Structure 1
Amino acid sequence: MTRSLHIVVTVNAAWNLVNFRTGLLRALLADGHRVTVLAPRDESVASLEALGCAFMDLPMNRKGLSPLANLHILRRMGAALDCLRPDVVLSYTIKNNLFGALAARRRGIPFIPNVTGLGTAFLSGGGLQRVAQMIYRHAFRGLPVIFFQNRDDLALFAGMGLVQLDQARVLPGSGIDLTRFVPAPLPQHPPQAPVFLMIARLLRDKGVVEFAEAAAAVRRHYPQAQFRIVGPFGAENRSALPPEQITHWQEAGHIQHLGAMPDVRPAIAEADCVVLPSYREGMPRVLLEAAAMARPVITTDVPGCRDALEAGETGLLCKLRDSASLARACTDFIDLTPEARAAMGQAGRARVERLFDEAHVIAAYRQALADAAG
């Protein structure tokens, strides 16, 4: 049993922890640790405090790309760590990983980042990508543990010399609470009138454009098929789609935007298939949640997304940035018998139980904390 620690958990949005890390936070608190969340303040803070976490505000601009233009985050991180004096820092999201690692190193505080995605700057090419790689190389040097969400991202970082293989550990995403996301019977929709559901922020990088274009193509042949989107607008993200674009697609009858939902389970239960045509992910939790509820999935054949399913067994793959390929995958799903759809969903549930139980993630963090505490 690790001695009681003061753990700072830092992320670029407090809601991220409420949505994806509540189980881990509960486990840390149950282990007797003191947990302080360091993140920009939002409406999720009350939920974190109700769990038993303390909170410190970390103002930051999540939209900016240039790492050098965000050095103020390094100063704010440093000031926060000087005030909080934690025993260890757990970090998520790009800017918190980079600048948190630098601030913690200067103070001799153990730092454990989780690479949940690569971000626009890292994948942009040219000078901006080189600067991002330089900061990663410096920030991650000498860290005892670096968590990755998939092996593709790990291989990319290792190939660029940003991490050493003995530092890296691959997690099954953020893990799924299998007692909360439980199998639900498929809805009794007519076979040619399925509900395709996408759950994501309304960002171009999530594949929202491809989803809407595929919806228009499919509905020309299957007009009863429904394409629903659950998720908020991403105003602070550079790839955010304008509200008027979503309105246009709705008025044209292609999609239905249901807004943001604090609990997505009812929407998944009403869907026949969950779709995420994202350009790249760490490990897309929504696909794991869908599989845990025995729903087939459709997603892009890219790192992270393809790791969330067994193609042909628990879901279908489509090509990146290709709405025609996505439309074909949706049509292929429509052509499945109800029995085949149910079997695909059941196989997804079994796979999540085997590989993505939240208990695996909690155990990995407990081990990392024990190592960091000496």
Structure 2
Amino acid sequence: MTGNKSLAVVITANTSWYLYNFRKNTILAIIAEGNEVYAVAPKDAYSKKLEELGCKFINIEIDSGGTNPIKDMGTLYNFYKIYKGKKVDVVLNFTPKNNIYSTFAARTAGVRVINNIAGLGTLFINESIPSKIARLLYKYSQSKADFIFFQNEDDRALFKFHKIAQNVKSDRLPGSGADLSRFTVSPAPDDGVVRFLLIARMLFDKGIGQYVEAARVLKDKYGSSVEFKLLGFLDVDNPSAVSKEQMAEWVNEGVVNYLGTSDNVEAEIAQVDCMVLPSYYREGVPKSLLEAGAMGKPIVTTDNVGCRETVDDGYNGFICKPKSSKSLEFSLDKIIALSHDERLKLGSNSRLKIESEFDERIVIEKYLKAIMR
């Protein structure tokens, strides 16, 4: 696709973990086209894995959840130094602060910018001073991008409503897609226990509280014939984070099982009957729902930005109201009431939906085309 011209491509995010877990196959495809790829992110346990893919890794400090302008200016300057020093052709940005500061730095260095709006979190909901400042920075920075990918039409419409980046070309991606060769259909065991799983960062905005409340009622009703699992980073740097103490309290109560984190999420998804995400956070399209759908699991999620795209209500799962543990409980109870074969049928429909709408290859092809524009 790239002909004889090899490009220097930078791919940035606020963690190496994100780049490896969400963009691994995109990185491999860009390298396979003969391009040089620099992964720019804070150093963590996944930085080495990025190098093993064939990237050149560059460490950068990003205070993801912080509002310290001096730290952010330092991040901006460090991005600029990288782009000037490496003679970069194009920068692919993921995650909010990268979309802002890496864009400013790249434009100043005369480098093309392709941004990915993977959900806007609480940025356009919260009316705090930091949120208002962040919105202004978003508005100004995104007008400097050469191309913007949105993961859902709600975010695209929100940009239009706020008159952000009106003259910048854009396209919609099917989230970050699902790797259909890695995530294959794996029916749950038919052993009389209905198992639910929620995979996300442990944030109350992701509906963790509602999940626990619904689990408490349903455990009381069905006892050991139902199980509620949680998997994902705990006690993260976020005002909405669930603390280790709170999680321990829920686990000790016997309401949920906390599985920690995993690089092999498919092994955990394979064992459950249904994937749940009661988020009221502004999502892109949640990766956990796409991967569970690819594995043939019914989905219960909220009528919320990014989440609703993954479920046709009654076809491959159920939609519930955001912030309502009662509505979530009702939807989970509907899953429990189904026979094992009926749940497998919903799961089979999930796989069909993911194959037709959310194949990761669609995402990769669009990125390769955008890089070569």
Q: Same fold (TM over 0.5)?
A: yes
> Aligned residue pairs: how many?
369
Amino acid at match of 1:237: N
CA–CA distance in structure 2, aligned partners of residues 349 and 95 of structure 1: 34
Contact 1:122 1:132 in 2 (8 A): no
Please report how far the alpha carbon of residue 67 of structure 1 lies from its aligned counterpart in structure 2 after TM superposition.
6.6
Please report how far the alpha carbon of residue 150 of structure 1 lies from its aligned counterpart in structure 2 after TM superposition.
0.4
Match of 1:249 in 2: 250
Contact 2:143 2:167 in 1 (8 A): no
CA–CA distance in structure 1, aligned partners of residues 90 and 74 of structure 2: 22
Match of 2:160 in 1: 158
Amino acid at match of 2:87: R
Task: Show CA shifts across 1:309-356 (max 9, x none).
Answer: 211111111111111111111111111122221111001101111011
Query: Which of residues 106, 124, 127 is equivalent to 1:125?
Result: 127
1:286 pairs with 2:288: yes
Amino acid at match of 1:223: G
Greater Cα offset, 295-304 or 200-209: 200-209
In structure 2, relative to structure 1, the CA distance for the partners of 1:110 and 1:120 (3 Å cut) is same
Greater Cα offset, 42-51 or 127-136: 127-136
Contact 1:65 1:120 in 2 (8 A): no
Contact 1:78 1:103 in 2 (8 A): yes
Match of 1:56 in 2: 58
Q: Secondary structure at the match of 1:72?
A: helix
Q: Secondary structure at the match of 2:122?
A: helix
In structure 2, relative to structure 1, the CA distance for the partners of 1:367 and 1:182 (3 Å cut) is same
Match of 2:209 in 1: 209
TM score, norm. by length of structure 2? 0.95
In structure 2, relative to structure 1, the CA distance for the partners of 1:344 and 1:165 (3 Å cut) is farther
Match of 1:86 in 2: 88
Q: Secondary structure at the match of 1:222?
A: helix
1:47 pairs with 2:84: no
1:197 pairs with 2:197: yes
CA–CA distance in structure 2, aligned partners of residues 142 and 293 of structure 1: 39
Q: Secondary structure at the match of 2:318?
A: strand
Contact 2:175 2:286 in 1 (8 A): yes
Task: Show CA shifts across 1:29-77 (max 9, x none).
Answer: 1000000011000000111111100001011211214778733221221
In structure 2, relative to structure 1, the CA distance for the partners of 1:272 and 1:107 (3 Å cut) is same
Name the Cα RMSD after superposition: 1.5
**Structure 2 unaligned residues grouped into runs of 5+:** none
1:267-278 residue pairs with structure 2 within 5 A? 267-278=268-279
Contact 1:196 1:228 in 2 (8 A): yes
Amino acid at match of 1:291: G
Contact 1:93 1:116 in 2 (8 A): yes
In structure 2, relative to structure 1, the CA distance for the partners of 1:43 and 1:326 (3 Å cut) is same
CA–CA distance in structure 2, aligned partners of residues 81 and 238 of structure 1: 32
